[in-house]
A and B are shown apart, each in its own frame.
Chain A
Amino acid sequence: MRWQPDAALDTLRLRAQVLARVRGFFADRGVLEVDTPLMCQATGTDPHLEALALELAPGDWRFLQTSPEFAMKRLLAAGSGPIYQLCKAFRRDESGQRHNPEFTMLEWYRPGFDDHQLMDEVAALIAVCLPAGDADIPRVCYRDLFRQSLGLDPFAASDDQLLTCARSHTDVAGMVLSRDDMLNLLMALVIEPQLQAPVFVVDFPASQAALAQIGRDAQGSPVARRFELFVAGMELANGYLELTDSAEQARRFTADNSLREAAGLPVRAADARLLAALEHGLPACAGVALGFDRLVMLAAGATHIREVLSFVADNA
């Protein structure tokens, strides 16, 4: 019977060091550590995230959180000020070289920051946590990235052009792909592996805004005030200039649920407590979620997530 841990003990010591550095970083900056429930009555509506559920008492179901976002926003609305959290998050059917169904997330919110100020802070944290970390991380917009890597404009290209481009990189026969699916496919399969040096990708298409505000780029296209940090060909963090409008939030929940219904996925009731908190008033803020296990992978030079986990899912 295999009982030994997946990570080497030295890696677990390094993991503890990185955790301590993260806590030190936020303590120095006056950001409060918080701890919100893992078991929640509501979950997100994102059609591409499936929560795990467990039965607390007969017929009383709770979702394991896919991220602490809703609870943290309720704290912000209550006047918590800047907060961060290191917690477990759970996602069904996510398992691979960089995914484990149970993983550690570092998420933080900064009232009064915009997305660019928060990117500065993410870069400062990376510099503290990684041996070769550099606090000066360039920003490239989604449009330019596609132009440079694939020679097409993701906002202007036709669906046919996107499909032809996707087909030139992999066999997608039999797949029904929406425009965002094709963009995501090209991003994940082709562009992401090329992003070796740390880089923030900004100005995502508005259709990929998730919970970010929507603005306009220099060309006047509607873009999401969302950023993603890539290091060593791997997505490390995803941040937003947070949506604070409860009516718009409710609309996005409804839109997600229409997509869920169309895809035959269970509809998820909107988190009424989150909407009530937004109604009360979420301070203008930026927030970001960072995959802590991946940060440790980078610190340890690991290529598989199991190398930094005490026990990976199938050894748990």
Chain B
Amino acid sequence: MATFSTNEFKPGLKVLLDGDPCSILDNEFVKPGKGQAFNRVKLRNLLNGRVWERTFKSGESLEAADVMETDMSYLYSDGEFWHFMKTDGSFEQFPADKAAVADALNWLKEEDVYVVTLYNSNPISVTPPNFVEIEVVETDPGLKGDTAQGGSKPATLASGAVVKVPLFVNIGDVLRVDTRTGEYQNRVR
């Protein structure tokens, strides 16, 4: 297995720390006038999302984590697993558990493409695209003619997300939503 030395630690590098795959966020080289140099490293644990700071002696190394980010389309859920399929034509399928899909759960739509992070070939996280287009399944009736003025109401999307929408939005409308903020962008149709 490849290893990386502290001087190769760059943001985004995936390494194993205490057996868990981590992504390096920041690496600061600190050295006293004379004596041992250190690297103060910030990492995100990819299994639980926790951000952690650890100090290493400069020159120490960590094993590379077999982490891959792959485009996959969402197929269906059987209640326990959410099934995704590679978009490279291999038709290879991967079941993701609830912890892995947590960040995307509100924004899942069949056939849409998500970034699935694989660790040792198992999905550990699913990242939705920045914008999704999903149909409204429940909201108060739209107010005709009120297309410009302020005011908002909650609407439930087919994926289960509840977003604040303008008053003119109706059931059956397809909305564009920013998944990072959960904010309504516009009505697509």
Query: B-contacting residues of A (Cβ < 8 Å)?
Result: 46, 48, 93-97, 99, 170-173, 175, 180-181, 184-185, 187-189, 192, 208, 210, 228, 235, 238
Contact = CB atoms under 8 A, between A and B. Distances in A.
A99 B18 CA distance: 29
B32 A175 contact: no
Given A93-B7, A181-B35, 5 more contacts: A170-B53, A184-B32, A185-B55, A189-B40, A192-B32
A288 B38 CA distance: 24
B59 interface: yes
Interface of B: 7, 18, 28-38, 40, 52-60
A119 to B, nearest CB: 14
B62 to A, nearest CB: 10
A180 B55 contact: no
Contacts of A208: 34-35
Contact of B31 (A46, A99, A172, A175): A99
Nearest to B39: A96
Contact of A48 (B28, B37, B52): B37
Contacts, number: 69
Given A93-B58, A171-B54, A171-B55, A99 B35 contact: no
A99 B29 contact: yes
B56 A189 contact: no
18 contacts: A48-B31, A48-B37, A93-B37, A93-B59, A99-B29, A99-B31, A170-B53, A170-B54, A171-B53, A171-B54, A175-B55, A184-B36, A184-B38, A185-B38, A188-B38, A189-B40, A192-B30, A192-B32
A95 B55 contact: no
Contacts of B59: 93
Given A180-B35, A180-B36, A228-B33, A97 B54 contact: no
B4 to A, nearest CB: 13
User: A99, A170, A181, A184: which has the most chain B beta carbons within 10 Å?
Assistant: A184
Contacts of A175: 55-57, 60
A225 B155 CA distance: 73
Contacts of A192: 30, 32
A96 B27 CA distance: 9
Contacts of B18: 173
A235 B35 CA distance: 13
A178 to B, nearest CB: 8
Given A48-B34, A99-B31, A192-B32, A170 B57 contact: no
Nearest to A175: B57
Contact of A94 (B33, B36, B37, B60): B37
B35 A96 contact: no
Given A170-B54, A171-B53, A188 B34 contact: no
Nearest to B6: A93
Contact of B32 (A96, A97, A171, A235): A235
Contact of A97 (B28, B37, B56, B57): B28
A46 B34 CA distance: 9
Given A94-B29, A97-B29, A170-B40, A48 B35 contact: yes
A210 B58 contact: no
A93 B59 CA distance: 8
A95 B7 contact: yes
A181 B31 CA distance: 11
B30 A188 contact: yes
Given A180-B36, A181-B36, A184-B36, A189 B31 contact: no
A190 B37 CA distance: 14
A192 B54 CA distance: 18
Contacts of B55: 170-172, 175, 185, 189
A63 B33 CA distance: 21
Given A170-B40, A175-B55, A184 B28 contact: no
Given A171-B55, A172-B55, A188 B32 contact: yes
A52 to B, nearest CB: 14
A189 B29 contact: no
Nearest to B56: A175
Nearest to B5: A93
A235 B29 CA distance: 13
